[in-house]
Structure 1
């Protein structure tokens, strides 16, 4: 086959078919992009709500749609800190901002800069060192060190250059967090790119105008060949680069995916990053700019790939790969030794000269076997391949879980923000959120639908708690808000409303809601969702099927978030659960993580055990003893058999109190001891045990 005159066109078409089979196609690319842009918008809505001066950007292969299941690309999240103002011209200085002047001189590497601290009251340099994050250089300038990234490092993260690597929970993507500072103007070092145009008239003038309007970032990392690695900041044009990538056609995207498969299979097989995917992206963009647009078609894919490999080989040989937008920045500078260079050069040459034979050795996504079947080198049926439908379902499931997790995390951040605020401030926050969503942007409207339901429920529950504390009544305003938030997910907001009705003594309404919620929960493939803990959840085939068939709105019908009450909602919480708000002694507090464990001041319980616990309490009030015992049995079975409980310790604590009410102190004590096995510190079980033993001694 490889000796036929038209083998290149035939191979190109077969490569395109294989990539289509593993979901590198227009449909999947667009779905990936929407999922990650929606997550980005949800996060930024949260930042707007809480008043943090940060904007998040989802960048890299996941958000571009230029990856596959087998490549396992991370998600790059850039946190832009808008408290800072990075300037290249004194006219850009702003009053009361953290102003820094970009310094380019003989000591800075091309594409990098120093940041000189300026005064906040007038456009003049600061002359006195303020803290350990700054240093004075030989010219008397106060420069910012790039070690500010350390503020985000904790026990669960690792630093890689300018980014912090965070391992994703099961079903969600690993993340690289990058801290960035904004420069509103287009960098002078990239000014030539705005006028430069290649053979294909690509990038277009519209793309260049967009690039110029976005400005740039500086990120905290120095060049590998710098004499001052702790002082240098790299100039980043991430947003223009994202714009370029989302404007590639499907053949260009497939070529990039093939480059990354080759990179992982042959050039960096042991995960030693000699050549990065960013270098491959840079090579691709140069090749696109220097060829006619008509070249980049499916029947020419292999030729395009060969052209990119030739360009990559030239870069390795010269140890120079010019940044696409800032050409003076050599992104290969200091990347590999002479020995590594020789090995890389040899490997790339072999790939170029073997007329596609090397592609038959790529194991990622069963690429080799799929291609051999397409080329009739092996018969159909010899290998079992995951179908395109299953891959599509998997990718969408992963994307939807990420959206749900992002919603849960953002809701948690908002709860931390409003935990100690008065009602007036919370009302202002909700109004601010409404303004953010009402701007006509489709993604903003979609993000608002995900986040607002939880906020309406929380705000309504806070108002309800206040009115219950005054006259044991549910105020009309609270009921409106609680009703508006019912569709946050399949259970948590509904159970909150049921808990509110239970707390006001409206038992019939509480029973109706709980009964309906139970019916919905057991008739759908529900995935629990909690941002408090790292938890591996069981994702069923039925859950994946629903994700593959429906839009992201289905998340609300197949996820069950934890039910969370902050202390301002205490009058809406059954007494048995209120103890969870006061779980920590002074000694326990020392064992808590300052940021991650603030939920321990709240009452947080998985939806399913809380549902059955509410049933138990409701049927007790209604004197439906058989139903009450059935509910107790369901609660016990849920705790014993359900592997997906995130807060099993809390579920055991409320079960223990049910056992006390059943006059079964031994079983109650067993529940509390099992709870302590789940969480030895910061556990209300310690209080329950003392209370139980004290009661037994008094009775004796």
Structure 2
């Protein structure tokens, strides 16, 4: 095929435009790394909850094949390991839920029925003992995919309204969440594909060997034309597809992203959402398989896209798009109607004849505008700063979202341990030991170390609280041990340390720690909360503002701080007023109003780091008799809380207002104290310690 003369320059310009849109090599690698880290956090989290379950982030986020304009969903697949999927009845295992994969000549390719077997003997179940079971005409008891999804909706009803999409049942906007079953046994479908691919440059021999032992998944989705579509489960080789995607070089990734940009901006006007990212991915697989590896370089980008369109045109003419791995599956079935296939074919033929001129009209990520710059030099100069800023903003956002997952996991695990029958101190020691075991695993090491640091800091803080309860003096050994955990973030760990020092009577030492925190707490620090989310706090513009003319590499440490959480077991390391936060309800009716996530943290004190910093300064300077510094801390606390621009950094505004109100209460200014407590109640009128504070101040005023 003849390469059009202008394609080389257009390819370079398109590659630069994609770089500046968040599809450069560094950003792609950052996305991959972040979502694999999130998988590690999820794995350790579930392990410590005692769940034999594994989670995977599949799709464009973990592949790094998206841009902000594509607005890709987050795909999460959870696999139940306690279900033993059998290919023959000899695979049966005692003490597990056993499900036998069934199919016959009438079953569509890629689809299976799951027959239920007993746990104590290798015999089929004969009665409908669970809501997810149905009886087939033959009398066999099947595990129904549709009923399983309905069961998920029922079990997650406290999380809100569920959104179902194919096999996904999600309670989180912009997430596709799939509950699946592991298939660990060799499957003839996979072996057939491996045999077909042998001897080709791609996939490599090493990839095929890894694919041979990789587990597949059964997801709850039937074929649209099947008589048993409500009962059927679809075989999904997600891990193998991920291996294929991870083998892509940067040009292949950019080609795939560009293909998706065309799909979303142009194809969608013709056939709506009928063409999916998975269709584009499959086309990419076939194109790479049939193209010499030396062709996949930056200056050929537009020609390679042209090859992808030729592959799609061929399959549209044949009215079938075969699944790349599983034979016999037509990916157009149930997605792209025959009339839509004809319309899309006409357009693609026109697009090819016009040498892809329609790429100049891609509005997503301003790709078209970037390409239409007057000259290459002007284009780079005009887009360079925006591109660097965007790339670094994306990287900060990815780290922020990853730390949020870590923070929410910590909140959940701490609540789980507090609820256990063992004492929290014993449970913490065991948890740290288990985290240490995970740290010897190369894959889980970095996530395990993060958990260890947080749990060790909690362990030391609880020990210090115990010493203070016994009216012992904190010695240098207690203080030294806490210092190992001071650099987890910009502020929260050091603020807990300062709180411990203040409560232990080491006011000068507390002041030094607080001065250190204030010196590193610049205006671009972003708060991370594992309990609440603020509207717009994941907006890319927020992270662009954080950069403020700097790059992320200009920060001496990541500009994030967790909220400060103090458990009841840390009461003697906690300023008195925050003890009310641990008992924020007036009545049991208020406790009943708490959502399930709120129940995980509302028995502890949670406070935003910046307000807590200035509140501790007010207390320590007051204790030292430094009135000028004390009033300065109060003014700073008030101006920070009352500045609406800071609301995006405040997740516990009601608690911050309670701290400010208490400062005025200590000042003897009961009118202002009451004002701020009432402001706090405007945020949350129940489960708010301000109810206690208002009563106390009114009693003082009334004498």
Query: Could you state the TM-score of these two structures normalised by the residue count of structure 2?
Result: 0.90
Distance 1:411 1:120 in 2: 35
Aligned counterparts of 2:462 and 2:103: Cα–Cα separation in 1: 53
In 2, Cα distance between equivalents of 1:295 and 1:622: 72
Match of 1:436 among 410, 435, 438: 438
Structure 1's 79 and 596: CA in aligned 2 closer, same or farther, altered over 3 A?
A: farther
- Say if 1:264 and 1:271, in contact at 8 Å, map to a contact too: no
Taking the aligned partners of 1:109 and 1:544, their CA distance within structure 2 comes to 56
Secondary structure of the residue that 1:179 maps to in structure 2?
strand
Residue 655 of structure 2: aligned partner: 650
The 2-side partners of 1:10 and 1:539 are apart by 33
Change (3 A) 1:43 1:394: same
Q: Secondary structure at the match of 1:196?
A: helix
Q: Which residue of structure 1 lines up, in the alignment, with residue 118 of structure 2?
A: 119
Change in CA separation of 1:629 and 1:298 when aligned onto 2, cut-off 3 Å:
closer
The separation in 1 between residues aligned to 2:550 and 2:325, in whole angstroms, is 42
Q: Aligned partners of 2:575 and 2:379: how far apart in 1?
A: 61
Contact 2:319–2:338 (CA<8 Å) still a contact in 1? no
Q: Secondary structure at the match of 2:660?
A: helix
1:614-648 C-alpha deviation (Å, 9 max, x unpaired) = 11222222222222222222221121113221111
- Give the alignment partner of residue 554 of structure 1, picking from 544, 554, 557: 557
- Unpaired runs of 5+ residues, structure 2, are none
Structure 2 counterpart of 1:574: 575
Deviation, 1:596, is 4.6
- Distance across 1 between alignment mates of 2:591 and 2:105: 51
Alignment of 1:235-384 (within 5 A): 235-269=235-269, 272-373=272-373
- 1:569–1:52 CA distance, 2 compared to 1 (3 A): farther
1:591 aligned to 2:558?
Answer: no
Between the aligned partners of 2:86 and 2:497, the Cα distance in structure 1 is: 51
* Alignment correspondent of 1:681: 686
1:343-492 aligned at under 5 Å gives the runs 343-373=343-373, 387-421=386-420, 422=423, 423-439=425-441, 441=442, 444-474=444-474, 479=479, 481-492=481-492
What is the rounded CA distance, in whole Å, between the counterparts of 2:606 and 2:161 in structure 1? 23
- The Cα of 1:559 is off from its aligned counterpart by 0.9
**TM-superposition CA deviations, 1:90-117 (whole Å, max 9, x none):** 3333322222222223554321212222
Aligned pairs for 1:189-268 within 5 A: 189-197=189-197, 200-268=200-268
Distance of aligned partners of 1:13 and 1:507 in 2 relative to their CA distance in 1, 3 Å threshold = closer
C-alpha change, 1:472 and 1:420, in structure 2 (3 Å) is farther
Which segment is superposed worse, 575-584 or 417-426? 417-426
Worse overlay, 669-678 or 399-408: 399-408
Q: Contact (CA 8 Å) 1:400, 1:547: kept in 2 or not?
A: no
Cα drift, residue 477 of structure 1: 7.6
Query: Could you tell me how far apart the structure 1 residues matched to 2:4 and 2:248 are?
Result: 29
Q: CA deviation at 1:659?
A: 2.0
Cα distance per residue 1:465-501 (max 9 Å; x no partner): 3333334444888645532221111111111112122
| Equivalent position of 1:663 in the other structure | 668
Cα 1:299–1:510 change in 2 (3 A) is closer
Deviates more, 1:591-600 or 1:393-402: 591-600
- Give the CA RMSD over aligned residues: 2.8
8 Å contact 2:271–2:340 — kept in the other structure? no
Give me the TM-score of the superposition, normalised by structure 1.
0.91
Shift of the 623–265 alpha-carbon distance from structure 1 to 2, 3 Å rule, reads same
Using the alignment, how far apart are the partners of 1:597 and 1:458 within structure 2?
20
The whole-number CA distance in structure 2 between the counterparts of 1:273 and 1:478 is 61
Q: 1:161 aligns with which of 145, 161, 166?
A: 166
User: What is the aligned length?
Assistant: 684
Deviates more, 1:196-205 or 1:121-130: 196-205
CA distance in 1, matches of 2:594, 2:393: 35
Report if aligned partners of 1:419, 1:568 keep a CA contact under 8 Å in 2.
Answer: no
- Match status 1:539 vs 2:538: no
**Is 1:36–2:35 an aligned residue pair?**
yes
CA displacement at 1:455 relative to structure 2:
1.7
The residue correspondences of 1:592-671 to structure 2 (distance < 5 A) are 592-641=594-643, 642-643=646-647, 644-671=649-676
Q: 1:395 to 1:166 in 2, by over 3 A?
A: farther
Quick check: 1:394–1:544 contact (8 Å CA) kept in 2?
Answer: no
d(CA) in 2 for partners of 1:199 and 1:332? 29
Q: Contact 2:393–2:547 (CA<8 Å) still a contact in 1?
A: no
Q: Report the CA distance between 1:166 and its aligned residue.
A: 6.1
Rounded to whole Å, the distance in 2 between the matches of 1:408 and 1:226 is: 44
Q: Distance in 1 between matches of 2:138 and 2:554?
A: 62
Q: Residues 465 and 369 (structure 1 numbering): CA distance in 2 closer, same or farther, change over 3 Å?
A: same
CA–CA distance in 2 between the matches of 1:488 and 1:607? Answer: 13
- Looking at structure 2, the residues matched to 691 and 655 of structure 1 have their Cα atoms a distance apart, in angstroms, of 15
Separation in structure 1 between the aligned mates of residue 136 and residue 476 of structure 2, nearest angstrom: 64
Q: Which shows bigger deviation, 194-203 or 36-45?
A: 194-203
Matched, 1:24 2:23: yes
Please tell me whether the aligned partners of residues 453 and 486 of structure 1 are also in contact (alpha carbons under 8 angstroms). Answer: no
Using a 3 Å threshold, how does the CA distance of structure 1 residues 597 and 156 change in structure 2: closer, same or farther? farther
Deviations 1:383-438 (A, max 9, x none): 77863212221221221212221221222222222222412222111100011012
Q: State the distance in 2 between where 1:117 and 1:130 align.
A: 10
Partners of 1:486 and 1:381 in 2: CA distance: 43
1:397 match: secondary structure:
helix
Show the counterpart of 2:70: 71
The alpha carbon displacement at 1:526 in A equals 0.8
Deviations 1:520-577, CA, capped at 9 Å, x for gaps: 213x6211111211213443534376664269x932xx11210011222222221200
Give CA-to-partner distance per residue, 1:225-244, whole Å, 9 cap, x none: 33333322221111111111
Q: Distance in 1 between matches of 2:694 and 2:66?
A: 52
Distance 1:324 1:430, change over 3 A: same
CA drift of 1:309 comes to 1.4
3-state SS of 1:77 partner: strand
For the pair 1:187 / 2:187, whether they are aligned, the reply is: yes
- What is the CA–CA distance in structure 1 between the aligned matches of 2:673 and 2:313, rounded to whole Å? 70
Q: Write the deviation string for residues 143-198 of structure 1: whole angstroms up to 9, x where unpaired.
A: 22221442346326522222245667xxxxx4322222211123333220121127
Moved more, 339-348 or 669-678: 339-348
Q: Are 2:370 and 2:379, in contact at CA under 8 Å, matched by a contact in 1?
A: no
Q: How far is 1:28 from its partner?
A: 3.0
Q: Is the 8 A contact 1:199 1:291 kept in 2?
A: no
Q: Is the 8 A contact 1:360 1:369 kept in 2?
A: yes
The Cα shift of 1:677 comes to 0.6
Residues 383/361 of structure 1: CA separation in 2 closer, same or farther (3 Å cut) = farther
Shift of 1:451: 3.1
Q: Deviations over 1:211-250 (max 9, x none)?
A: 1222111122222233333322221111111111111122
Structure 1 position 311, deviation (Å): 2.1
Q: Whole-Å Cα distance in 2 between the matches of residues 279 and 4 of structure 1?
A: 25
Question: Matched residues in 1 for 2:397 and 2:179: separation?
Answer: 25
